[in-house]
Amino acid sequence: MNVAKSGYRVFSANSSVASTELAKKITERLGVELGKSVVYQESNRETRVDVKESVRGQTIFIIQTIPRDVNTAIMELLVMAYALKTSCAKNIIGVIPYFPYSKQCKMRKRGSIVCKLLASMLAKAGLTHIITMDLHQKEIQGFFSFPVDNLRASPFLLQYIQEEIPDYRNAIIVAKSPSAAKRAQSYAERLRLGLAVMHGEAQCSESDMADGRQSPPCVRNATGHTGLELPSGKQQAPFPGIELPIMMAKEKPPITVVGDVGGRIAIIVDDIIDDVEDFVAAAEILKERGAYKIYIMATHGLLSADAPRLIEESAIDEVVVTNTVPHEVQKLQCPKIKTVDVSMILAEAIRRIHNGESMAYLFRNITVDD
């Protein structure tokens, strides 16, 4: 394809070579060349972007994968978008397969909703549209003032299960926490398999984290709330006639697996696998309950810290993730990690958006819970 006549350009905002692999695969499928630009950090770690060709009046797609250095990648994307905006690009569309800070999408005590801050920064930098994949919470789309296409990786992971897992008909889909049950149910229904849900003290869901609505903290006494404790240690008298109910502390029950996994292949599904301690603990419980093989299926394989070593030493037989996040180093450290390529759907999304075609085809047979 003649890039000059295509009406759009595809750029990569990553400064590291490993992070540009997905961008190269996408441009190969589109039949276009990767836009000419230089992204680098100066000696004082400031990010600098130089666009080496004219983008005036054109639609620009910026592919940005998120490596371990998340904040640098975000800054690269922001500077690239602003550089293209000031170079008179017509539309600037961010292709961000894994959207960073997506776990910080709810208020935690006196913290902040960082995901919304990032959405505002991207809009201010000049982005007019975003293509992403499997947002941690689908409500994140409401943080943006421009369109967001939240693609799904489930068709690729389901295909992997059917083609690469021997005797998958003897498998059972497992949710490692109740919060992941809807996603697991969606997989189980389409594969015509059973469903199991893990619950108990090994589970650590976001819903159990304090969100600030219990502030100021309750007074610790057994007779009810007679006042609020001040920094000095004194009690502030409540309003006349008001006695607040006692807040019961949460206590998780012993670990429980709801569903029979004995003699089955257990397939745990989730959207992100980062710190793997919970997955390793879940695998040990499933082994004790009689599962003879354990697979982990996730869209985004962040695999931080000692994740490769922990996976290699665990009862997990295989971890399957997509290439939304670069993890070639982790694969060298742990042969149990397998990769599914999703560049096909990202390339097709770019083509359809540029041609003004409907995106409905990419969401066929996709459920809300995927």
Q: What is the pLDDT of residue 234?
A: 58
Please report, in angstroms and rounded to a whole number, the separation of the first and last CA atoms in the chain.
Answer: 35
Whether residue 220 is predicted with pLDDT greater than 50 in this model: the reply is no
Q: What is the pLDDT of residue 222?
A: 43
Q: What is the pLDDT of residue 18?
A: 79
Average pLDDT, stretch 88-95?
A: 96
Q: What is the pLDDT of residue 236?
A: 59
| 221 — pLDDT class (breaks 50, 70, 90) | very low
Q: What is the pLDDT of residue 5?
A: 53
| 252 — pLDDT class (breaks 50, 70, 90) | confident
- Give pLDDT tens digits for 30-44: 999 999 999 999 999
Whether residue 89 is predicted with pLDDT greater than 90 in this model: the reply is yes
Neighbours of 344 (CB within 10 A): 12
Q: What is the pLDDT of residue 214?
A: 47
Task: Output the CA–CA distances (angstroms, integers) from residue 369 to 157, 187, 365, in the order listed.
Answer: 15, 9, 12
SS3 state at 95: strand
Q: What is the pLDDT of residue 1?
A: 44
| 367 — pLDDT class (breaks 50, 70, 90) | confident
Which residues of the chain does CATH 3.40.50.2020 include? 9-151, 155-201+255-340
Residues 282/176, Cβ–Cβ less than 8 Å = yes
- In percent, the amount of the chain with pLDDT more than 90 equals 73
Q: For 153-183, give one letter per residue: b (16+ CB within 10 A) or e.
A: bbbbbbebbeeebeebeebbbbbbbeebbeb
Q: What is the pLDDT of residue 235?
A: 58
Whether residue 143 is predicted with pLDDT greater than 70 in this model: the reply is yes
Residues 272/299, Cβ–Cβ less than 8 Å = yes
The dotted CATH code for 155-201+255-340 is 3.40.50.2020
- Give pLDDT tens digits for 158-185: 999 999 999 999 999 999 989 899 999 9
Q: Where are the alpha helices (DSSP H) in 111-153?
A: 114-125
Q: What is the pLDDT of residue 341?
A: 97
**245 vs 8, residue with greater confidence:** 8
Q: What is the mean pLDDT of the chain?
A: 88
pTM for the full predicted model = 0.85
Q: What is the pLDDT of residue 254?
A: 76
- Give pLDDT tens digits for 283-314: 999 999 999 999 999 999 999 889 999 999 99
Q: What is the pLDDT of residue 223?
A: 47
**245 vs 118, residue with greater confidence:** 118
Q: Where are the alpha helices (DSSP H) in 231-304?
A: 277-288
CA distance 82 to 87: 8
12-16, 31-35, 220-224: least confidently modelled range? 220-224
Q: Which residues contact 261 (CB under 8 A, 6 or more apart)?
A: 172, 174, 196, 286, 289, 290, 291
Fold category of 9-151 in CATH: Rossmann fold (3.40.50)
